[in-house]
Amino acid sequence: MTNLEDIKSLLQEKLAAMIERSEDIDDDLTEPADDDWGEAAVEAAGDEVLEEVGDVTLEEIAQIKQALARIENGGYGLCMSCGEDIGAERLKVLPYATKCMSCAE
């Protein structure tokens, strides 16, 4: 596994990107509706999808912030359910994982 500073840097970069994405979504959702009824209906449907993407983005932001906090307090890489190591391969794929594969199933 790479060192914690590398992981921290990766998470901070991902956090910045996710915050930017969230702000872009908020900007799109606050745009005034089109005056054309048909176009407004299409925009409303698109806004529903954007809201869902925004919710997922906010959840990922929270998970990344939690992972950064675990790095700071020494708990990074330990399963929050059983206390065992999460495993380098799992953390490589999902660096903000909170559970080992056994507990995640």
**Within a domain: residue 18?**
yes
pTM of the model: 0.80
Residue 12 lies in a domain: yes
Please report where in the chains the tokens 């490589």 appear, as a residue: 92
Interhelix angle 4-29/37-73, nearest 10 degrees = 160
How many domains, in total, are found in the chain? 1
Query: Is 67 a member of any domain?
Result: yes
22 domain-assigned: yes
DSSP for residue 35:
S
Structural domain contains residue 91: no
Residue in this structure with the two tokens 């903000």, named with its chain if needed: 96
b vs e for 19-38, b when ≥16 Cβ sit within 10 Å of the residue's Cβ? eeebeebeeeeeeeeeeeee
46 is a domain residue: yes
Residue 64 has pLDDT above 90, yes or no: yes
Q: Domain of residue 31: give its range.
A: 4-76
Please say if the pLDDT value at position 1 is more than 50.
Answer: no
Does some domain include residue 85? no
pLDDT for res 93: 92
Instruction: Check whether 79 has a pLDDT greater than 90.
Output: yes
% of the chain surpassing 90 pLDDT: 69
The stretch 8-37 carries a mean pLDDT of 89
Count of C-beta atoms within a 10 Å radius of residue 72: 11
